[in-house]
């Protein structure tokens, strides 16, 4: 039921063209739905805070942040002033800021928000599902992002199932290959990761690994059951 319901959420024909819609949208801060004040595991070797933005162009049935991804309007936005105040107070203790979601690359006027963060002299890492290479390239060209972590959901042929019907195999391959090309031009900037969701077999994971060009690594992330379905909720 979850996957079927998710199908209607994606809009592959209008995969969030932030630049085209900029003037019609409110500030990117209005999409900010959560902050993790300190994380040691979201950017290797760095103490960072993580900003979670609402909205997503996919509908993965195993989504961990389904509420902010699919119903961002149901989650109050954080105050820009409070978050900027937090960053100002903590900038000297942090090694960077991770911009995550949802799909942060979908957020209209994200570049303007990143320009504000840049004033704290904190490098930014972008987490992305890999469907908006043009947005990623623009942010890199403007030096608003120092690192990019890209999801490889699995073998291209499984993208329809892995994304709730939002992406066909050809589109997945084309958009991820655009990231591979960017990564080849910018050594050390990109990392690629795959969450080992239940749909993927070991053979699928090996197939996904083979999709990366030589010299690129695929980091595996263990799948954790989405909290709304976690057994611990039933035990609480």
Binding site for ligand SF4 (CB under 6 A): 56, 58-60, 63, 65, 69, 101-103, 129
The nearer residue to ligand SF4, 63 or 135, going by C-beta atoms, is 63
The nearer residue to ligand SF4, 163 or 211, going by C-beta atoms, is 163
The nearer residue to ligand SF4, 58 or 147, going by C-beta atoms, is 58
Distance in Å, CB of 92 to ligand SF4, minimum:
31
From residue 17, alpha-carbon distances to 24, 86, 94, 107, 111 in Å are 12, 30, 31, 9, 13
The nearer residue to ligand SF4, 102 or 123, going by C-beta atoms, is 102
DSSP string across 82-148: HHHHHHHHHGGG-SEEEEEES-GGGSTTHHHHHHHHHTTT--EEEEE-SS-HHHHHHHHHTT--SEE
Integer Cα distance of 47 and 58 in angstroms:
29
Distance in Å, CB of 215 to ligand SF4, minimum:
26
- Residue 146 CB partners (closer than 8 Å, separation 6+): 96, 123, 124, 125, 189
Distance in Å, CB of 140 to ligand SF4, minimum:
20
Q: Which two tokens stand for residue 165?
A: 């019907």
Distance in Å, CB of 213 to ligand SF4, minimum:
22
The nearer residue to ligand SF4, 122 or 155, going by C-beta atoms, is 155
Distance in Å, CB of 56 to ligand SF4, minimum:
3
């Amino acid at each position: 039921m979850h996957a079927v319901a998710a199908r209607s959420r994606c809009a592959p024909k209008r995969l969030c063209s932030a630049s085209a819609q900029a003037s019609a949208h409110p500030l990117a801060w209005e999409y900010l739905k959560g902050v993790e004040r300190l994380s040691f595991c979201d950017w290797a070797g760095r103490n960072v805070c993580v900003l979670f933005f609402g909205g997503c162009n996919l509908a993965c049935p195993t989504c961990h942040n389904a509420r902010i991804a699919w119903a961002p309007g149901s989650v109050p936005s954080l105050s820009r002033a409070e978050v900027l105040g937090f960053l100002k107070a903590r900038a000297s203790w942090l090694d960077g800021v991770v911009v995550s979601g949802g799909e942060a690359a979908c957020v209209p006027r994200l570049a303007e928000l990143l320009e504000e963060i840049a004033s704290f002299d904190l490098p930014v890492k972008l987490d992305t599902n890999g469907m908006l290479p043009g947005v990623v390239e623009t942010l890199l060209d403007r030096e608003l992002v120092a690192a990019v972590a890209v999801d490889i959901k699995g073998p291209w042929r499984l993208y329809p199932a892995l994304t709730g019907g939002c992406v066909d195999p050809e589109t997945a391959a084309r958009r991820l290959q655009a990231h591979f090309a960017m990564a080849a031009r910018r050594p050390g900037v990109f990392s690629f990761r795959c969450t080992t969701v239940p749909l993927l077999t070991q053979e699928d994971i090996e197939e996904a690994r083979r999709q990366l060009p030589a010299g690129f690594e695929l980091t595996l992330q263990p799948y954790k059951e989405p909290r709304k379905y976690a057994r611990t909720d039933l035990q609480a």
